[in-house]
Amino acid sequence: MGQVAGLECVICERTYSDGEVLYTCPSCGPAGILDVLYDYDAIAAGGFGLARLAANADRTQWRYLDLLPVSGTHLPPVPIGWTPVFHLAEMAERLGVAELWIKDEGRNPTGSFKDRASAVAAVKARELGFDIVCCASTGNAASSLAGFATQLDLTTFIFVPEFAPEAKVAQLLVFGATVFVVKGSYLDAYELCSQASERLGWYNRSAATNPNPIEGKKTGGL
């Protein structure tokens, strides 16, 4: 697990200790998104660096566990990350750019970049002792959360706007999620999910609410 130093509000820059706040800054409200802070000196002192990465046979995003806000005690069994990068010279020439590289995130378990984020969220929920996770989404984020939640024996409730693609809703049902189709916009689904999470004690993975999922996304650039 990374040496988490705390959480910092992107607006007021107030810091909180790890575990003191689950979601956004209490002072700034929903707009007060929190950044996870790490003690990089402690991480380096623990031996994390290029040499250890080069010798690490783990070909998943968990090779970067030192830079993530979770431990290795509840990791899902399927591999995430370490997706291939392709050099598209012909397309680069057509577009008039010097270099073009494409990273194929469709190789992730549920076929989406969001798997990196949802895996971290599901693991964090299990570490914090939650049994139920929830999310507001129009598709990929919800599907990936449901996919990882079922691997970690978590119950999933998903809130989708009424215009959500039928194929995505079907994927959620395949993963065993309970789906609430909300009459209205994505923001309506988001607000209802937030209210349910607060009142019923569910762990909310929704974007711009939970500071942990984005930590998984950053592994796509490592």
Contact 7, 18 (CB under 8 A): yes
Contact 160, 181 (CB under 8 A): yes
Distances (CA, A) of 190 to 51, 206, 215: 43, 8, 21
Q: Percentage of residues in the chain with pLDDT exceeding 90?
A: 91
**Model pTM score:** 0.92
Asked if 28 and 87 sit in the same domain, the reply is no
Asked if 55 and 74 sit in the same domain, the reply is no
pLDDT per residue as tens digits for the range 81-94: 999 999 999 999 99
pLDDT per residue as tens digits for the range 176-215: 999 999 999 999 999 999 999 999 999 999 988 999 999 9
* Range(s) of the domain holding residue 15: 4-59
Give residue 1's pLDDT band: very low, low, confident or very high (50, 70, 90): low
Pick the last residue of a domain from 32, 59, 86: 59
Pick the last residue of a domain from 38, 59, 80: 59
Buried b (16+ CB within 10 A) or exposed e, 27-56: eeeeebbbebbbeeeeeeeeebeeeeeeee
The DSSP symbol for 202 reads P
Asked if 77 and 22 sit in the same domain, the reply is no
pLDDT per residue as tens digits for the range 29-70: 999 999 999 999 999 999 999 999 999 999 999 999 999 999
Domains held by the chain: number: 2
Asked if 34 and 89 sit in the same domain, the reply is no
CATH number assigned to the domain comprising residue 203: 3.40.50.1100
